[in-house]
Every structure is written in structure tokens, then in C-alpha cells.
Structure 1
């Protein structure tokens, strides 16, 4: 009996000790959980506080009324509205040059004079042929010669006349239109031969310039003659020029698959000349006088950050037409709002920002 009672007492003591150990373990676990929760909560509060305190550097712009354009980029080298090479039809020696590069000349003005080689001989042949032909006309009218003899005299006269006019035409070379001499390839007393160089001088009309460009097949349906073109010239980085699409080929080139277009550019002050590199934007769709912000302000999910009192505020905007530079705002942003256009990636609502530049 005593042994049995002792056994029961030991068992009860052991059970109590085990329960006490388990209780201690639960208390320790609870303490750890509470501690982690407090640490995590403080960390979140600290992170939020830091996000609010750290001033993110940003660039901003003002939402304003403007235009949004959809464009197609083109580029090429400028040519004159008219562009020709001044050259004789036959070889010869240059006797006199009356124009140099940069000279402005009028239509009909003599630009080049070639040495009149064989001119006197050819003129004498022409004069003799003309006298013979005139005599043959009288003899034919009197019935003194046959029609065949008359035809032979006529053919000889026409050949002599063509030879004489060709030499005259190629002795004094005149300007076919008013323009500017853009290139000079020879000097006086040089020998010119067709095929060696395209001409002695190059004459261009530059009141309006031409830019020949190519369009891809995906752009072709968007185009039509008369579209406005904004042109930039590398030589004049602070200026833009206005042009229009005046010609568009109806069919694609069989080798390249592209369509050729010709752009006419106004050049009222004659700043532009042939050979300058030009890049342009053909405007095929445009919205005028709409609320706009720079395209870089728009983030995924139509998010735009507005700056108020040094704090970034996230807004959802409804956008309309977009181009590479600007987007149309239909709602969600007001005219005059300050929007973040650079430094907005990674920005969060409520963050403190520092404006480093205004665009």
C-alpha cells in the first residue's frame, strides 16, 4: 500500500513538472511573437517615416493647354526646288567663267563661255547651205529642178543649221532660271569633257527646298499629299522650318518595298542650301488646344504624380492621344498642376520630393 501511494505521488509530481515545462515554453513563444510584432511594426513605421522624410530629387512640368501630334520621322539631304548642272553638250575648252559659288544669277544670264572652236567654219557651212536652199526653192517654183534635188538641198540646210545652232548653244551657256550657283567644278582654260564631271557649274533655285524621303508600308495608309511637316536642320539647331508633303508615289519600290515622298520646305530668307542634312516629322494626326503633360509623366496603369507642398501625390489619369513628346489628358489632372516628369519611377504616394529642375 505504501509503495503504491509513493508511486502515485511520484507520477503526479512528474506530470506537474511536465505541465510546468510546457507552460514555460508557451510563455517564451508568446514573448518572442510579441517582440517580433513590435519590431516589425516599428520597422514599418520607420520605413514609412523615412519614405516621408527622404526628399527624392525630381524634375517637374506644368500641365498646360497645347497640341498633341502623331508624326512619322523622315530624313535626308536638301535639294533645290530646281537643280541643274551647267555643261556643254560637246567637249571643249572653258574660255570664261562669269559666276562663282554663292553668286545669285538671273534667268538668261551668261554663266560660262567656251572657246568657239570650229565656230567660224561651221557658220560658213551653214551660210552656204542656206544660200543653196534658198536658190533651190526658186528653181523648184520655176520647175527647173526636180523634187529630189530640192529635198537634198533642204536636208543639207537643216543639218548645217542644227550644227551651227549646237555650237552657238554650247559656246555661251546661260542660266535656265534665276537661282544661286552652289558648286563650281572647273576653272578657266580647263578642258571639259561630258562624263568626266556632271557639269562646270551647279545652279539651284532655293526659294523653296526639296527633301526626298522614303516611307515604310505601315506608314503609307496614314499619308496623303498636303500634310504638314516640321523640319529640323543640323546646321540651325535653334530653328525649325515648315514644309508640306507635295508628292507621294502610288506604288512601292519593288526592291526596297518603300514609298517615295517629296517634301517642299519654305526658305524665305535663303538660309537653307543644297546638301544640308534635314530631319522632319510628318504630322498625320493632330489635336489642338487640349490639356497636355510631357509623355514622360505617364507611368504604367495611367499613373501620374502631382507635386503639392513638397509631397508627391499619386493620381490616375484618363489619357487621349499620345505622341513621343506629349500626351492628351482627358481627366484626372487639372490645368496648372505640377507633374513629375523625371524621377517618378519608384516614387510612392506621400513621399517627400525635391525639385531639381522645371521642364
Structure 2
């Protein structure tokens, strides 16, 4: 469009000069009225063509300085640019110049290990942490679970929808996800620091009403982040020791 507008402007200027010369020649008696009329008609045609070319250029965001304003059909952020300075833009090139994305809500693709598949469902709440904001948790929900394990990593993927006010989360960021899995039963939850693994078994140190410490074997249903769900060996209200527990455990065992 820019090339066409420049060409039409040049042709209009040339037609304007020809018309001026034709008027001088006609007034001097050196040309006929027909020749003057032809110059006038040519000027009017070139003038109309230039108006059309300039209107087309303006409609497509350009101006006579060769600058184009490209308007996106949607609001968002430029996440990919496929154009560089001095790059020639051709009408037969169908590749997009820019990629625009609405980042007010983003997706996170999380990995689910095979041992956790049974306890995770669509709709479960997810807390995500990213390195850029270590003290902030981003809450979302599992929107879709891809029911197929990757052949290499042996994990199943799930898509999490996350509100992203202020466009803080960026495409390509790495995140750690914690899923609040639903078991359908109420289980005691302890901090993983309070569980002692010894001889292929799990133990906790329980403090009774008389403040006496005893070793109790437990069975773990699931571990999510630093939380351990106990399926056997503890009940609600039991008090456990989670500080210097290894030292106390070794003392009691011996």
C-alpha cells in the first residue's frame, strides 16, 4: 500500500506539471483546446487515483512516512514478534507478524505422577509457586486431565486455569504445584518432618496426656509437598513431635 501511495503521488505531481505546461502553451496559441482538455482529464484521473491510494493506505494504518499502525482485534500482550526492522512485508506471506495473548487468565500444565493419579480429579484446587515470586501463592483449579502417561517421563499432564491479575505470570515460567487431592475420607495430616523412615517402615513420636513419648508405626496414604496423610497409626487429636525427633527416636529405640 505504501508503494502504491508513493507512486500515485508522483503521478499526480507529474500530471499537475503537464497541466500547467498545457495551459501556458494554450494561452500562447501553441496548442489546441483538445490538448488542454486531455491534460485536464489526465490530472483529474491521477488526482482521483491518488485519493484512493491515500485512503487505502490510511485504512490499513499507514501514512506517507512509511509508518504503519497495526491494530489488534483483541486486547492482550504481545508474546511473540516475527517482524524485524527493514524486513520486507509481502502480500503472499501468510505468516503472522505478532502473536497477542490475553494473560488475565493463564494455563499451567502440571505433571502428575502415577502414584498420585487416583487422588486427583478435575476441579481440584491447586496452589502454584514460581521463582519470581517465592512468597506468593497463585491459586487455580484443574480444568482438564489428559488421561495418558508420557512414554519418557511416565507422568500424566493436567491443565490448570489460574486468574492472573496484573499479568504477573508469564508464558514459559516454571512453577511448583501443590494439589489439594480429595480422598473422600478424613485422615490425620502431619508435617513430613515428623515422620521417621527406618528399616523400610514409617514412624512418628507420639506425646500422650502424661507427656510421655512413645514410638508408633504409621502407614502413609499420600504425601503432598510437606504434608503427609496418615491412613493407619494416628487419629485426630494425637500429638506428635516434629523437632529433634530423630535424636529422640534413636534414644528411645536403644
Q: TM-score, normalised by structure 1?
A: 0.40
Counterpart of 2:177 in structure 1 is: 280
Partner SS, residue 193 of structure 2: helix
In the superposition, relative to structure 1, how do residues 292 and 226 fare at CA in structure 2: closer, same or farther (>3 Å)? Answer: closer
Question: Secondary structure of 2:102's match?
Answer: strand
Question: What is the CA-CA distance between 1:280 and the residue it aligns to?
Answer: 1.6
Change in Cα spacing, 1:220 to 1:277, as seen in structure 2 (3 Å) is: same
- Give 2:128's aligned residue: 231
Find out whether 1:326 has 2:223 as its counterpart: no
User: Where does 1:87-106 land on structure 2 (aligned, <5 Å)?
Assistant: none
Shift of 1:226: 2.7
The CA deviation at 1:233 is: 0.7
The answer for the alignment partner of 1:116 in structure 2 is: 2
Find the counterpart in structure 2 of residue 337 from structure 1: 239
Q: Write 1 or 2 for the structure with the bigger share of strand.
A: 1
* Distance in 1 (alpha carbons) for counterparts of 2:150 and 2:61: 38
* CA displacement at 1:241 relative to structure 2: 0.9
Contact in 1 for aligned 2:139/2:163 (Cα 8 Å) = yes
Partner residue in 1 for 2:87: 191
Secondary structure of the corresponding residue to residue 273 of structure 1: coil
1:206 aligns with 2:103: yes
Return the structure number with greater relative CO, CA threshold 8 A, min gap 6.
1
1:319 and 1:217 map into 2 onto residues whose CA distance is 19
1:5 is matched with none
Q: Which runs of 5+ in 1 are unaligned?
A: 1-114, 123-163, 352-359
Question: How well do the aligned residues superpose, as a CA RMSD in angstroms?
Answer: 4.6
| Secondary structure of 2:242 counterpart | strand
Is 1:180 the counterpart of 2:77 in the alignment?
yes
The CA distance in 1 between the partners of 2:229 and 2:116, in whole Å, is 22
SS of residue in 1 equivalent to 2:3: coil
Contact 1:297 1:305 in 2 (8 A): yes
1:248-287 matched pairs, under 5 angstroms? 248-250=145-147, 259-286=156-183
CA distance in 2, matches of 1:178, 1:317: 58
| 2: CA distance, partners of 1:283 / 1:266 | 18
Partner Cα distance (1:175, 1:244) in 2: 30
Give a deviation string over 1:162-193, Cα, whole Å, max 9, x none: xx89x949965321211133466767x63255
Looking at structure 2, the residues matched to 182 and 279 of structure 1 have their Cα atoms a distance apart, in angstroms, of 23
The alignment's TM-score, normalised by the length of structure 2, stands at 0.52
Number of residues of Structure 1 aligned to a counterpart in Structure 2 = 190
Verify the 8 A CA contact 2:205 2:213 in the aligned structure 1.
Answer: yes
Secondary structure of the residue aligned to 1:118 is: helix
Question: What SS does the aligned partner of 1:191 have?
Answer: coil
Relative to structure 1, is the Cα distance of residues 281 and 117 closer, same or farther in structure 2, using a 3 angstrom cutoff? farther
Structure 1 partner of 2:25: none
Give the superposition deviation at 1:232.
1.0
1:305 to 191, 205, 208: 205
